[in-house]
Amino acid sequence: MSTFGISDALCARVPAMQAWLEHAFLDIAPVAANAPRAKGSRHVLLASEIAHATFQDILIDYREGEPLYIRAANGLPARVEFGPADIEFACALVAELLRPSGMPAVGDDSSARLMSLASRIAASDATVLIQGDTGTGKEGMARFLHARSERKNKDFIAVNCAALPETMMEAMLFGHKKGSFTGAAQSSDGLFLAADGGTLFLDEIAELPLNLQAKLLRALQESEILPVGATHPVPVNVRVIAACNRDLAAESEAGRFRSDLYWRLNVMPLALAPLATRKGDVTAISAAMLLSFHEKASDGEIFPWPTTDTLATLAGHSWPGNARELGNVLQRAMVLREGDRILSSDLSLMAVAAPAPAPAPAPAPAPTPMVAPAAVAEEYAQPIRLPARGRPMRLKDITRASKLDAVRMALREADGHRALAARKLGISERTLRYRLAELREMAMA
């Protein structure tokens, strides 16, 4: 693990910086800015210590005023400027600038403890089972285990079992011989042999059919595979890390997953909690995502710092979509923001966080060329009402109401984005506009 240096002067000036970096599972040590250093080492220094900095270092200017992040360029190191109000995100941003590839972004106590456990597990060669909801970072954890293992210089092969064609699963995992089935014009090694000496990450392991589970069990127990069409097994040296977004023990009890394979995979279990329970990670992951979006943008674009209120709003959200939802929200905020900073009003979380209260009866506003996504979702948040009891109810009224209810639900699920809602419904945007016009007419009736 790389050791990063933080200058004594910076530790005295911003004590929270060292504490955050250590909490982010980075190996950080106080150093004198002018002390000799190893080639390629990276330091975090005060801006006033620039004379001792290299291009790889990070300069910190702790001062009042609006925060600023300047990329490393033209031989100058990266620079982060901020005041007391923005210290939390600034520390997360510096941690992200230092974070080695293959290490998840960490900012929560529970995640720091889990990473400590994962480091110990990585040093072994035991099979690991990672369980957690979709978007909680299972592949990131698998990559961390590989990067900290003795196999780090070999290949890490990731495969989503749910995405494998059912008729080709066996051949893709274990390989096949030439002519073993129709279309097998050439032999193929398969994913197990591709990961030989390294790590094979099997995501969505519960999607494997039962017959393949038996073959996987033998591969794990005997460290050998039998390619399709072969008569002799082939030895393999692979560490398997499996992941599942369902309770694999419950799947085993229900007979949908082999119990012997479950116990063979569950040597070293790791459970990833939903993002909503890891409030500290929200800031760390937000810094990682915003930095990634910024690096892909044009060089002249100003880095969009979230405000303190924005961070509090993000931390208080329920995040049913976990990190994937967080990424969508932040990317949308970068596009929709009007200023240089990301405000709470830029997040478009209202329609997702909680159901909107029923509005007072009033005519729906006339459509405008540019409408915020959350506003679109709220505008059509109310269910369609069928004719009151005593009034004639025709079949076409019921059909129409059902279609418009589907439009309403699609808009809410798409946070008001019309193009996305149209794709969900399988209709064109033009047809969706007709349906929205019908919704407005019914609201005004």
pLDDT digits (tens, 9 = 90+) for 114-130: 999 999 999 999 999 99
- pLDDT given at position 361: 47
Q: Which residue has the higher pLDDT, 82 or 187?
A: 82
Check pLDDT > 80 for residue 64. yes
> Measured between alpha carbons, how far is residue 442 from residues 356, 359, 362, 374 in Å?
19, 15, 12, 21
Give the per-residue pLDDT at 443: 54
Would you state the pLDDT for residue 1? 52
Let me know: does 342 contact 305? Beta carbons within 8 Å: yes
Instruction: Please compute Rg for the chain using Cα positions.
Output: 27
Distance CA 390, CA 285 (A): 56
Give the model's pLDDT for residue 353: 40
Give per-residue pLDDT as tens, 237-264.
999 999 999 999 999 999 999 999 999 9
Distance, in Å, from the CA atom of 190 to the CA atom of 199, rounded to the nearest integer, reads 14
Please name which of 155, 184, 154, 150 lies closest in space to residue 170, comparing C-alpha atoms. 184
Contact between 342 and 306 under an 8 Å Cβ cutoff? The reply is yes
Per-residue pLDDT tens for 135-167?
Answer: 999 999 999 999 999 999 999 999 999 888 877
Residue 34 predicted with pLDDT over 70: yes
Residue 367's pLDDT band (boundaries 50, 70, 90)? very low
Predicted pLDDT at 366: 43
Task: Summarize pLDDT for 323-333 with one digit per residue, the tens.
Answer: 999 999 999 99
In sequence order, what E strands does 105-230 have? 128-132, 156-160, 199-203, 224-225
Q: How many CA atoms lie within 13 A of 61 on its CB side?
A: 16
The pLDDT-based confidence of 291 (bands split at 50, 70, 90) is very high
β-strand partners of 240:
200
DSSP letter assigned to residue 306? B
What confidence tier does 400 reach under pLDDT thresholds 50, 70, 90? low
> Is pLDDT at 395 greater than 70 in this prediction?
no
Q: At 151, give phi and psi (nearest 5°).
A: -95, 10
Q: Which long-range contacts (CB under 8 A, 24 or more apart) does 289-295 make?
A: 289/326, 289/327, 289/330, 289/331, 290/330, 290/334, 290/342, 291/93, 291/96, 291/97, 293/330, 293/331, 293/334, 294/69, 295/71
The fraction of the chain above a pLDDT of 70, given in percent, is: 78
* Paired strand residues for 31: 7
pTM of the model: 0.73
Better pLDDT: 420 or 131: 131
Percent pLDDT > 90 in the chain is 59
What pLDDT, on a 0 to 100 scale, did the predictor assign at position 338?
Answer: 85
Over 50: is that where the pLDDT of 431 sits?
A: yes
- The arithmetic mean of pLDDT across residues 82-110, rounded, is 93
> Where is average pLDDT lowest: 226-240, 245-259, 376-390, 407-421?
376-390
pLDDT in tens, 217-243: 999 999 998 888 888 889 999 999 999
d(CA 349, CA 373): 10
Cα–Cα separations (whole angstroms), residue 200 to 107, 110, 132, 261: 28, 27, 18, 16
Identify the pLDDT of residue 424. 67
* Token pair belonging to 107: 């900012």
Distance CA 383, CA 408 (A): 8
Domains and CATH numbers, the chain: 3-104+278-346 (1.10.8.60), 109-272 (3.40.50.300), 354-444 (no CATH)
